[in-house]
Amino acid sequence: MTMPIVLTPGANRFAEDKEEARRIRLEEIMPALERNEKVVLDFKKVSYATQSYIHALIGEALQKHGESALQHLEFKHCSAALRSVIELVVDYTLGGFPEQKTEKTQKTPK
């Protein structure tokens, strides 16, 4: 079974209400994932969303289910900018950022 969720933005097609994202996560996304259902997050009304909104929306699902959550989450109608924010949240939630090498930690060839 598939659960479609059409996300509703605030002013100027901008999604930033973390409390609304939290409500959607708790009332719709997490229960659907527990039932092993596919969740389709439809951003057709959203041009952009804050990182904190996306984290509130999917962070717990990624933390609890790991990469397997991505097999049950589908992101539709995402602008390039929105896709970038989603990818950022997925990357840091699942594995963090790789450590950047500094001059002190980089090895020089001998």
The pLDDT value given to residue 95:
87
Residues making up the chain, counted from first to last: 110
Domains in the chain (CATH in brackets) are 2-94 (3.30.750)
> Per residue of the chain (110 residues), what is the pLDDT tens digit?
899 999 999 989 999 999 999 999 999 999 999 999 999 999 999 999 999 999 999 999 999 999 999 999 999 999 999 999 999 999 999 986 555 444 443 444 44
Residue 61 has phi, psi (to 5 degrees) of -60, -40
Measure the CA–CA gap between 22 and 95, rounded to whole angstroms: 22
pTM of the model: 0.84
The pLDDT value given to residue 108:
41
Number of CB atoms found within 10 A of residue 16's CB: 16
Residue identified by tokens 């539709």 is 76
The pLDDT value given to residue 100:
44
The pLDDT value given to residue 109:
43
Residue identified by tokens 């990357």 is 91
Measure the CA–CA gap between 75 and 99, rounded to whole angstroms: 28
Which CA distances in Å does 104 have to 97, 99, 109, 110? 19, 13, 14, 16
The pLDDT value given to residue 93:
95
Indicate the SS3 state at residue 50: coil
